[in-house]
Structure 1
């Protein structure tokens, strides 16, 4: 796993574990014990990153076998549980830069070097401008901008054509219909593109954005997020 943290993160993260306040070195915002104890998303479906507890290995889930998403694979190292969920909530709803910095460091730590070297451009999942104004910032843009700088990659911004209703309480098919045609990308994209978001629930938002990326010239699209919400069977 990559454990590199850029200069911005080192300035934001003093030598105390963000989870237990124990002593740690300045290159990592966590201690070894807390890092190991985090809710790692293993095993998980390689296509949509749905957690697959009790499985001996990662295999495609039934949903992806029946209806594969528009992106080739998902890289979501953690589950949206416990300390990770609390960090995301502080980042998203309290605009905590420290929480965001830790989440970005965890994303890098959870991805192999080969994955970090794969993309030719990053595309953040955009909030509608009205929602970004209400919240005070766009969390996907915040993460992707810093990751693009870290990986020395171009950042390409998508536009949300309409302010879609909230996804909360919708099942997978309802989310997909809600987001159909929601995004457009005017710039021409390179072949290998990564979508960036903080949390992945069903993958409907990322799937809709992947369709827009393919229409803009991308040949392969991956979806990256920090945490995956386990699906509830209906």
Structure 2
């Protein structure tokens, strides 16, 4: 090797410095420069479990409220491709999954995720919910698949959301086992209800849901 060759570590460091100069990193939660997630925003991701039922009666436990820092960090993971943030979000999700398995369904339950649309997967190149579950210490079983592509749910009212996702999912056979459905955010619960319908048709026993975050409803805010 030539005596003028640059050591690999030096090359990596130089590239890192160059990228930091031209594409400065900022905290996903507050925008503080030169840190991916500051200590204050990391603390704001501590689990604060929230329980609710969907219109169809499905029990949902969420780890965080989808507002402020948690909402900004999750958006950065999903829409900006900052997959490293999954490690910071995972502890909150892991604690809720563990509590649900211990108290509601048991360790032999099937943990599965609600799949994203094909268009979302093509755009991102990864599945955020699967990534979050793996970082939380579980290996999700791929039960569900998208049978048809729904419209984007954003901007739709409750009735339109339910009609939009009705019949979207089909499931592999479950044969009497309990199922824990995991998604990133619950808003009206329409998507989770259709996923629950699909696994019940496939033979599931008890079905409950876990999400990383929940969108607060008006009565939640009032309380």
Q: Residues 123-162 of structure 1 correspond to what in structure 2 (within 5 A)? A: 123-147=112-136, 150-151=137-138, 155-162=141-148
8 Å Cα contact 1:39-1:82 kept in structure 2:
no
1-side partners of 2:47 and 2:177: how far apart? Answer: 33
Q: CA RMSD in A?
A: 2.8
2-side partners of 1:224 and 1:18: how far apart? Answer: 26
8 Å Cα contact 2:176-2:205 kept in structure 1:
yes
What's 1:177 paired with?
163
**Paired residue total:** 181
8 Å Cα contact 2:46-2:92 kept in structure 1:
no
Change over 3 Å in CA distance of 1:82–1:114 after alignment to 2: closer
SS at match of 1:202: coil
8 Å Cα contact 1:197-1:226 kept in structure 2:
yes
Structure 2 residue 9 is the aligned partner of structure 1 residue 21: no
Residue from 196, 199, 206 that aligns with 1:213: 199
Structure 2 residue 76 is the aligned partner of structure 1 residue 94: no
Kindly provide the CA deviation profile for residues 80-136 of structure 1, in whole angstroms up to 9, marking residues without a partner as x: 011101110111112222211211112123x27442343511221111223211122
The alpha carbon displacement at 1:45 in A equals 4.6
Q: Which runs of 5+ in 2 are unaligned?
A: 1-34
Whichever structure has more helix as a proportion of its residues is 2
Structure 2 residue 133 is the aligned partner of structure 1 residue 115: no
8 Å Cα contact 2:56-2:193 kept in structure 1:
no
Runs of 4 or more off by more than 4 Å in structure 1? none
Flag the structure with larger Rg: 2
Structure 2 residue 182 is the aligned partner of structure 1 residue 196: yes
Q: Residues 44-123 of structure 1 correspond to what in structure 2 (within 5 A)? A: 44-48=50-54, 67-69=55-57, 71=58, 73-109=59-95, 111=96, 113-117=98-102, 118=106, 120-123=109-112
Q: Residues 32-47 of structure 1 correspond to what in structure 2 (within 5 A)? A: 34-35=43-44, 40=48, 44-47=50-53
8 Å Cα contact 1:79-1:227 kept in structure 2:
yes
The alpha carbon displacement at 1:185 in A equals 0.8
178-187 or 224-233, which deviates more: 224-233
Under a length normalisation based on structure 2, what TM-score does the superposition of the two structures give? 0.70
2-side partners of 1:128 and 1:19: how far apart? Answer: 28
8 Å Cα contact 2:145-2:170 kept in structure 1:
yes
Change over 3 Å in CA distance of 1:130–1:18 after alignment to 2: closer
Q: Which runs of 5+ in 1 are unaligned?
A: 1-16, 23-28, 49-66
